[in-house]
Amino acid sequence: MSSSTVPSSPGWDLERSPFHEGELAVQERVGVREKIDAQGRRAVRRYLTAQQREFFLMLPYVFMASVDSSGRPWASFLVGEPGFVNPTGDVTLTVRARALYGDPLNDTLVPGAEIALLGVQFHTRRRNRVIGTVGALLPDGFTIDVRQTLGICPQYIQGRELSFNRDPLLPEPRPVHRNSRLDASASAIISKADTYFVASVLLQEGDPVATGADVSHRGGRPGFVRIDDDHTLTAPDFVGNFIFNTIGNWQFDNHAGLMFIDFDSGAMLYIAAHAEVLWDGPELHAFNGAQRLFRYHIDEVCRVEASLPCTFTAPDYSPLLERTGHWDIVAKTLEAERLRTVWRPFKVLETIDESATIRSFILEPADGSGLVGYQAGQYLPIRLQPPGWAEPTIRTYTLSDASNGRTYRISVKREGKGGCSDFLHDHIVVGDTIETLAPRGAFVFDEAAGRPLALISAGVGITPLIAMLNSQLVNDGRTLLHKPIYCIHSATNSKHRAFAAHLAKKGELHANLTLHVAFSRPSEDDVLGKTHQSEGYIDRALLRRVLPLDDYEVYLCGPPGFMQSVYDALLSLGVRDSRIHLESFGPASVSRRIERTVEVDNSEGVVVTFAKSGRNAIWRPKVGSLLELAEANGLKPLYACRSGSCGTCVTRVVKGEVDYTEPPAHDVEPGEALICIARPHPGPHLEDGTQNREGVTLDI
């Protein structure tokens, strides 16, 4: 394709998708297929753009993928003075470089071979990818026939500058070490690495769009690739561009070619392996920021000493690494799971005034143990004993940020009644210690729902919704929920509105986020359209105006009156009760209108008898706790924390036994139950004529 044949409308010019079936399958799995297809048709091209031609001319190094005679992909590193990669046309590149000594590319570079070229500027974190085939071999290099190009997101790249210390066109012999597993020197390179490159391939004869090699960059905190043993590695996979070239290829061919650069010694490490994608498991959940884990089963190792003709400056680490985990933290997190029901000391690392009445407390473990992970929306039980109080008191405060593996953040409103919230504001400072249990709570974000999202809050009720928002909108522009998100918040005025600057930044960076703030009593300094979008309260008319007609997943949190009125308004607008998730604070619960389904649930249940009220009910797992079952049947037992921490809901068990979703933090006497976290234990016998098990009788 010459310059004269470049399409007048830039982008993908074929009817079929620019992605093959493996890539599409992974995109479908994570819920982005439709969105990425539209983006791909704009970004993927079958020629080099002007920007890409200029970009490659500036580079002193590029990364390559090639395929050996047995079909295994290898990742390689090519260096040269800027201009050594020269776009000689819209679909051709000339590379004036020789493979490094010992690099597998020396054997795989033949005319017609499938290759991929990845241009990276470490210091600017820009990337561009080319897929094609080797054209002609030249005395000092080769040409590439370009088949596909794509600009790639600049995430997790560590900034480094290069300088040459010998002629890159004259590779010098160096000691080469080959093995079937890792030796001590290879392990040393991997254990300190903050970057590696992975090559993959899909070979499909007769389909030039689907077939090809790929080479991708992976970055993390030093040591982010774990050495499990001398033939196994495990690495996290963070949020990327959602195209899934590498994992897509692995759907058909799980061969992987890994390359590690020792930026200190100039050594190169090449590994042939088989890749396994881990989509779930305790280690994945404990590794902050990881969306998946890659496990590499090593087949062959090649290490070349002092291979590079250049040196690199110390790394300028990507700011995105701050919110990613590390294997040391993962180990501590998994160990901390044993301490879920133990009161542990946490030191106040920082305090932040979010508004005139709300202050955040950043807490880190003070006992040397790790941090138990949590889901966005959950809360943290804390225990305090202010001077003069006869007994310690337990309170629960919502965690107001997504889990980061290192700290907890609670955001507390001063109530002005002399209680725990006032004590925290008036007396707790940086360096003080607070006792906490592990996070808990059932008000959590459902990542599997995949629907447009409405986060509706009032006052300090925004805290769990901020955590949910932060869990989905990440890395200064990336979103894990590829649907519209509406954040609707009510506050008195700017002085009483928390997280205003944070939300404004999110709104600027994330195109799928819409913010609407309603002030009930604006101050003189507030400006409609700038500090807030409406005046008054969140009601039916406002919701109808702000929310386009759609099937939303709604998360609602605030004072009881606010909760009830907004819940009723949502129902009147056609939002299903099952789509509305509630978290209230204060003594009252929302009166819900449970949907009547056409299909009757005839699955096995457990009979629960409320002795005092003379009522019987059938418990099934979807009901939740015994407290929720009682409330659904019109009863109003006492409760406070709903986390098994305070003991307020303790109830006498007249007959039968209960089970707990997690061990209670409050001591429970024999013959009693904390119904806020208890479920009936199914008896061995069915009730006569039914599919329901004998269960428990409670003194309610």
Least confident of 255-259, 446-450, 672-676: 446-450
Q: Look over the chain and give the mean of its residue pLDDT values, rounded to a whole number.
A: 91
Q: Give the C-alpha separation, 265 to 307, whole Å.
A: 9
pLDDT exceeds 60 at position 1: no
For 347, the token pair is: 């030191």
Q: Is it true that domain 606-698 has CATH number 3.10.20.30?
A: yes
Q: What is the mean pLDDT of residues 624-636?
A: 89
Confidence at residue 604, expressed as pLDDT on a 0 to 100 scale: 81
Q: Give the C-alpha separation, 486 to 438, whole Å.
A: 30
Q: What is the mean pLDDT of residues 296-304?
A: 98
pLDDT in tens, 81-116: 999 999 999 999 999 999 999 999 999 999 999 999
Domain-wise residue ranges, the chain: 3-328, 345-436, 453-584, 606-698
Confidence at residue 597, expressed as pLDDT on a 0 to 100 scale: 43
| pLDDT band at residue 600 using 50, 70 and 90 as cut-offs | very low
3-state secondary structure 355-381: CCCEEEEEEEECCCCCCCCCCCCCEEE
Confidence at residue 210, expressed as pLDDT on a 0 to 100 scale: 80
Q: In this prediction, what percent of the chain has a pLDDT beyond 90?
A: 76
| pLDDT band at residue 357 using 50, 70 and 90 as cut-offs | very high
For 431, the token pair is: 């360096």
3-state secondary structure 313-327: CCCECCHHHHHCCCH
Confidence at residue 292, expressed as pLDDT on a 0 to 100 scale: 97
pLDDT exceeds 80 at position 568: yes
Element (H, E) at 202: strand 195-202
Q: What is the mean pLDDT of residues 208-228?
A: 93
Confidence at residue 589, expressed as pLDDT on a 0 to 100 scale: 66
Rounded to the nearest 10°, the torsion over CA 184, 187, 193, 196 is 130
pLDDT in tens, 476-516: 888 999 999 999 999 999 999 999 999 999 999 999 999 99
* Opening angle at CA 25, ends 22 and 28, nearest 5: 150
Q: Which of 143-152, 185-194, 477-486, 557-566 has the highest mean pLDDT?
A: 185-194
pLDDT exceeds 50 at position 2: no
Confidence at residue 153, expressed as pLDDT on a 0 to 100 scale: 72
pLDDT exceeds 80 at position 666: no
Contacts of 292 (CB under 8 A, 6+ apart): 236, 237, 247, 277, 278, 279, 284
Q: What is the mean pLDDT of residues 267-291?
A: 96
Beta bridge partners of 146: 132
- Domain 345-436 adopts which CATH fold? Elongation Factor Tu (Ef-tu); domain 3 (2.40.30)
* Residue with the larger pLDDT of the pair 423 and 647: 423
- Domain 3-328 adopts which CATH fold? Pnp Oxidase; Chain A (2.30.110)
Confidence at residue 82, expressed as pLDDT on a 0 to 100 scale: 95
Comparing CA positions, the residue from 149, 172, 43 lying closest to residue 92 is 149
Q: What DSSP letter does each residue of 62-126 carry, written as one string?
A: EEEEEE-TTS-EEEEEEE-STTSEEE-SSSEEEE---PPTT-THHHH--TT-EEEEEEEETTTTE
pLDDT exceeds 60 at position 169: yes
Could you tell me which CATH number the domain at 453-584 has? 3.40.50.80
Confidence at residue 585, expressed as pLDDT on a 0 to 100 scale: 56
Q: Give the C-alpha separation, 235 to 294, whole Å.
A: 5
Confidence at residue 584, expressed as pLDDT on a 0 to 100 scale: 60
Cα 284 from chain centroid? 10
Q: Give the C-alpha separation, 411 to 399, whole Å.
A: 7
